[in-house]
Amino acid sequence: MIYINIDDDAFYDDAVTIVRSFYPRVDVKPARPISGTSDVNNPATFNPIKEVTVKLEEGDKLIEIEAPDVTGLSKADAHEKFKVKLYKQLEEKEGHGLPWGNMTGVRPSKIAYQMIVEGKSEEEIIDFFTKEHFTSLAKAKLAIEVAKKEISLVSKLDVKNGYSLYIGIPFCPSICLYCSFSAYAYNAFKDRVEAYVDALIHEITEVSKMMKGKRLDTVYFGGGTPTTLSPAQLDRVLTKLEECFDLENVLELTVEAGRPDSITREKLEVLRDHKVERISINPQTMNQETLDLIGRKHSVEDIKNAYKLATELGFDNINMDMILGLPGEGPEEVKNTLDTIKAMNPSSLTVHSLALKRSSRLNIYRDRYKNLDFKNTESIINMTEDCAKDLGVEPYYMYRQKNMAGNFENVGYARPGKECIYNILIMEEVQTIIACGAGASTKIVSTNPVDNSSLITRVENVKNVDEYINRIDEMIERKRKELA
């Protein structure tokens, strides 16, 4: 446990964010009740911070941070100065910095993307990352490389006049230990899956009416695991999609097959017959002991067999996901996963760093798993980069999450021409994405008439499956209202 004592509560959230970056696996709490925050722009209520004390309950570390005087600064500058000072002192105390420095946002490539569009040079962007936010040179260059690839792909789209469609299937064969998505074990909900498909088809139908006359660019089936649906159910949803939307100019249609224990020949044949050209078969790890520990009810051989079946049926754009920092996995286990994936030769590889989310079982029952070892190091990251080069895949999108193992990032690699454009659009937030299904989040991108900046309006669907089924008309009306 880490307790944070801070003189001015206006900066408590900043302190938590920076402290958690250094100690991602430790609970952080205030040392005293939060009494409300002062306004840094109001001299009548604001007093400069005097001290931040970070106390680690487990161990003998007591870190006393001399906080900066931020009197007279704007709110944004005051918070930035505080975060810089706290980061630098924690860096000194711990004897090391972090790969992304004091950057806490989830989309560093979006920053590089915007700076390139604004005409900034590569040197200016590198200086911004390394000198203002203390990121490593390697991470600054990664952000730039990804941003350049994204710009080259997005430039082929008329993002303002088009849109993308997300369709969520919130069921999985089992729930993984680390999962925090809106996902439900199929067997516990199998008597409601047909009703869910009915509600989803109703939403898809109504959304198509709202978007009539607009150009659909990409379609992405995610979850959960879409292939937990039966072949007949998959066929129903895909047939309705074809009936309701003009797919002639759609650049890609992706379905996350994901779990090999949800894949059958019949389901893959349905996807192929509906011209689904991109699928995912996600091992996460190729070590059986880890698969058993994290709650995956399949074997390493099941992964290989599912991949082989998909290639035999003609799928030539297959992504494979893996996760670094899984419990008990070090360099040797990661090497085994990479070597096995390399032998399978997928066209895309997505490398995730484990993020311990609040709602995951790994976090909820952390006492049960406290003796597990979570490793993610720069050398392990370098192993994945070397594997990507051997596969001939290049980084094309990237994002970060809070509480990530090693404070690293998630990177999507693909062979040229095999990139998932939807992944770029969801990360860079440059195009409206209409989302259907339980827990799905619509993002409507518009332009602020005052300063020409982007405005993003979010429309959330309820996460609970039963609530989604019962309140589907309400979900539809939420979209209709915002799109109007």
pLDDT in tens, 372-402: 666 788 999 999 999 999 999 999 999 998 7
pTM for the whole structure: 0.91
Cis preceding-peptide flag for 224 (omega within 30 of 0): yes
pLDDT at 25 over 80: no
Residue pair 211/482 in contact (Cβ under 8 Å)? The answer is: no
Domain layout of the chain by residue ranges? 2-94, 108-154, 162-445+454-466
Amino acid at 270: V
Task: State the pLDDT at residue 52.
Answer: 80
Distance CA 239, CA 217 (A): 18
Q: Which long-range contacts (CB under 8 A, 24 or more apart) does 66-74 make?
A: 67/6, 67/7, 67/11, 70/40, 71/46, 73/40, 74/41
Helices marked H in 69-226: 75-94, 108-117, 122-127, 137-154, 186-189, 193-210
Distance CA 56, CA 60 (A): 7
CATH number of 162-445+454-466: 3.20.20.70
Distance CA 324, CA 353 (A): 5
What is the DSSP secondary structure assignment for residue 130, as one 8-state letter? I
Using CA atoms, how far residue 151 sits from 117, 156, 159, 430, in Å, is 8, 9, 12, 11
Task: State the pLDDT at residue 2.
Answer: 85
pLDDT at 367 over 70: no
Residue pair 429/456 in contact (Cβ under 8 Å)? The answer is: yes
Task: State the pLDDT at residue 364.
Answer: 44
Give the residue-averaged pLDDT of 327-345. Answer: 95
Return the half-sphere exposure (C-beta side, CA atoms, 13 A cut-off) of residue 258.
Answer: 24
Give the residue-averaged pLDDT of 61-89. Answer: 83
Minimum mean pLDDT among 2-11, 28-37, 110-119, 337-346: which range?
Answer: 28-37
Distance CA 343, CA 110 (A): 33
pLDDT at 41 over 70: no
What is the DSSP secondary structure assignment for residue 131, as one 8-state letter? I
Q: What contacts 93, CB < 8 A, 6 or more positions away?
A: 63
Amino acid at 40: V
